[in-house]
């Protein structure tokens, strides 16, 4: 308060001093100093004495009552700013004191929300393990539940502190950021959502033999973004979950069956009843086939053979077992056909050298020879 009173007295002191001593500058930059008897002695910048002149009462009135109030106003503005800052600080301190109960309540709400969120996370993890066996998905979803519960607690605490505008701004900003990220990473989001759905629907599991589009192999794991399989050629293939979710999947493990379809052709001159009997007997001698019935069907007339398909199921549906049974089946059929003089024909092509067709090659050659002899 003493400082404030002193600052308030400064303009009066300046006014009194201005009546005794005043300063002004002429156009050449020389400075003149007035005295009590109304005369001034000017001194130039180089120290030479200047002409003496008298200051009238009008000049003194302008100097004291017109120019000096400008300085007074500047000190008054400074004084007002100081009072304004002091008033604001006092208001803030009063508001902080009034807010202390709400602040304590907000802290209690936040702590309770933190423990409730942790409890919900543990409960959700135990429940999700019963639905999904993918630990990555379970951990992700439980973390999301934890974050949502904790976020609700934070918003309630901010509302208690009467920061509703801040809550609205945070929600609006989160919505805009989420929309922008959704457009920027829509492929990643699609693969992520597809991975979550596949984890809950479980059309296949680790160790299953599946085929999706042109990829076939054994499932190793299902990640959030892709499904990893080991192909039968030894390569590791990562298929985006969106492609698996949107396209058909062939699962050879879920039913425990994997059928062999063997297509064969025999000559047009063979007895088809005999061919069917010999083929079925050869198939029944194959070791490693399942007890299911073997099916035999003629499928059509080919270019040089009558085609049929033989179908059976191996006991071992893995790739080595599947290929071994198929190999033994081919060997048995070929051996039985050789023993019964059944021919598997090579591709046959008939060449017609006549313009209209139906003419034999030797006849055309003889005709050409006669024509050449006649020309001689």
CATH code, 314: 3.30.70.100
Residue 293 lies in a domain: yes
Which residue, among 349, 350, 353, has the nearest Cα to 362 in the 3D structure?
A: 353
Going by pLDDT thresholds of 50, 70 and 90, the confidence category of residue 300 is very high
Contact 343/337 with Cβ under 8 angstroms? yes
Per-range mean pLDDT, top range of 66-70, 189-193, 355-359: 189-193
pLDDT of residue 74: 55
Q: Give the range among 37-46, 232-241, 289-298 with minimum mean pLDDT.
A: 37-46
Helices and strands (DSSP H and E) totals, the chain: 10, 12
pLDDT above 80 for 280: yes
d(C-alpha 173, C-alpha 180), whole Å: 11
d(C-alpha 294, C-alpha 280), whole Å: 7
pLDDT above 70 for 321: yes
Which residue, among 224, 192, 218, 194, has the nearest Cα to 205 in the 3D structure?
A: 218
% of the chain residues with pLDDT over 70:
72
d(C-alpha 53, C-alpha 38), whole Å: 9
**Is 32 in the same domain as 89?**
yes
**Is 71 in the same domain as 49?**
yes
For 199, 236, 241, the CA distances from 246, given in Å and listed in that order, are 15, 21, 9
Residue 71 lies in a domain: yes
Residue 149 lies in a domain: no
pLDDT above 80 for 7: no
Tens-digit pLDDT profile for residues 134-177: 676 777 788 888 888 888 888 888 888 777 677 777 777 777 88
Residue 285 lies in a domain: yes
Q: Choose between 299 and 376: higher pLDDT.
A: 299
Residue 161 lies in a domain: no
**Is 10 in the same domain as 41?**
yes
d(C-alpha 281, C-alpha 40), whole Å: 142
pLDDT of residue 333: 93
pLDDT of residue 331: 94
The pair of structure tokens assigned to 270 is 């063979």
pLDDT above 50 for 16: no
Q: Single out the residue in 97, 120, 137 at which a domain terminates.
A: 97
Residue 127 lies in a domain: no
The pair of structure tokens assigned to 80 is 């007002």
Q: What domain range includes position 86?
A: 2-97
Residue 230 three-state SS: strand
**Is 6 in the same domain as 72?**
yes
Section 293-304 average pLDDT: 89
Residue 87 lies in a domain: yes
Residue 172 lies in a domain: no
d(C-alpha 217, C-alpha 253), whole Å: 11
**Is 246 in the same domain as 264?**
no
Going by pLDDT thresholds of 50, 70 and 90, the confidence category of residue 336 is very high
pLDDT above 70 for 4: no
pLDDT of residue 67: 52
Q: Single out the residue in 209, 232, 251 at which a domain terminates.
A: 251
d(C-alpha 236, C-alpha 331), whole Å: 32
Section 254-271 average pLDDT: 89
pLDDT of residue 335: 93
How many domains does the chain divide into?
3
pLDDT of residue 135: 72
Going by pLDDT thresholds of 50, 70 and 90, the confidence category of residue 22 is very low
Tens-digit pLDDT profile for residues 118-145: 999 888 888 888 877 767 677 778 888 8
pLDDT of residue 261: 92
pLDDT of residue 26: 42
**Is 280 in the same domain as 229?**
no
**Is 243 in the same domain as 271?**
no
**Is 239 in the same domain as 322?**
no
d(C-alpha 27, C-alpha 41), whole Å: 16
Residue 300 CB neighbour total at 10 angstroms: 10
**Is 26 in the same domain as 92?**
yes
pLDDT of residue 152: 87
Q: Single out the residue in 72, 97, 122 at which a domain terminates.
A: 97
**Is 6 in the same domain as 84?**
yes
Contact 106/41 with Cβ under 8 angstroms? no
**Is 204 in the same domain as 245?**
yes
Section 82-86 average pLDDT: 78
Ramachandran angles phi, psi of 231, nearest 5°: -70, 165
**Is 245 in the same domain as 265?**
no
pLDDT of residue 37: 46
């Amino acid at each position: 308060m003493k400082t404030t009173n002193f600052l308030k007295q400064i303009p009066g002191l300046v006014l009194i001093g201005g009546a005794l001593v005043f300063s002004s500058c002429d156009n050449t930059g020389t400075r003149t100093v007035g005295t009590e008897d109304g005369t001034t002695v000017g001194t130039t910048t180089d120290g030479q004495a200047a002409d003496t002149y008298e200051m009238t009462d009008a000049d003194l009135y302008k100097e004291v009552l017109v120019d000096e109030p400008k300085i007074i106003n500047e000190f008054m503005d400074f004084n007002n700013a100081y009072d304004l800052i002091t008033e604001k600080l006092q208001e803030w301190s009063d508001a902080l004191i009034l807010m202390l109960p709400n602040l304590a309540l907000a802290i209690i709400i936040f702590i309770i929300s933190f423990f409730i969120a942790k409890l919900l996370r543990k409960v959700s993890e135990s429940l999700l393990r019963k639905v999904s066996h993918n630990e990555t998905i379970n951990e992700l979803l439980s973390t999301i539940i934890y974050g949502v519960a904790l976020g609700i607690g934070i918003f309630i605490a901010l509302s208690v502190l009467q920061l509703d505008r801040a809550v609205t701004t945070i929600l609006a900003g989160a919505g805009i950021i989420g929309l922008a990220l959704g457009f920027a990473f829509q492929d990643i989001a699609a693969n992520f959502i597809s991975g979550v759905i596949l984890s809950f629907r479980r059309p296949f599991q680790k160790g299953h033999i599946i085929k999706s589009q042109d990829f076939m192999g054994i499932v190793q794991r299902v990640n959030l973004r892709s499904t990893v399989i080991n192909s039968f050629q030894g390569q590791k293939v990562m298929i985006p979950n969106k492609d698996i979710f949107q396209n058909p999947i062939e699962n050879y493990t879920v039913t425990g069956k994997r059928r062999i379809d063997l297509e064969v052709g025999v000559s047009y001159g063979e007895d088809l009843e005999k061919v069917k009997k010999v083929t079925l007997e050869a198939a029944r001698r194959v070791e490693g086939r399942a007890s299911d019935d073997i099916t035999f069907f003629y499928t059509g007339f080919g270019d040089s053979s009558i085609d049929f398909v033989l179908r059976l199921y191996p006991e071992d549906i893995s790739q080595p077992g599947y290929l071994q049974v198929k190999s033994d089946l081919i060997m048995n059929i070929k051996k039985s056909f050789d023993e019964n003089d059944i021919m598997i024909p090579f591709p046959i092509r008939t060449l017609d050298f006549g313009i209209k067709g139906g003419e034999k090659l030797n006849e055309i050659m003889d005709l050409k020879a006669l024509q050449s002899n006649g020309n001689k």
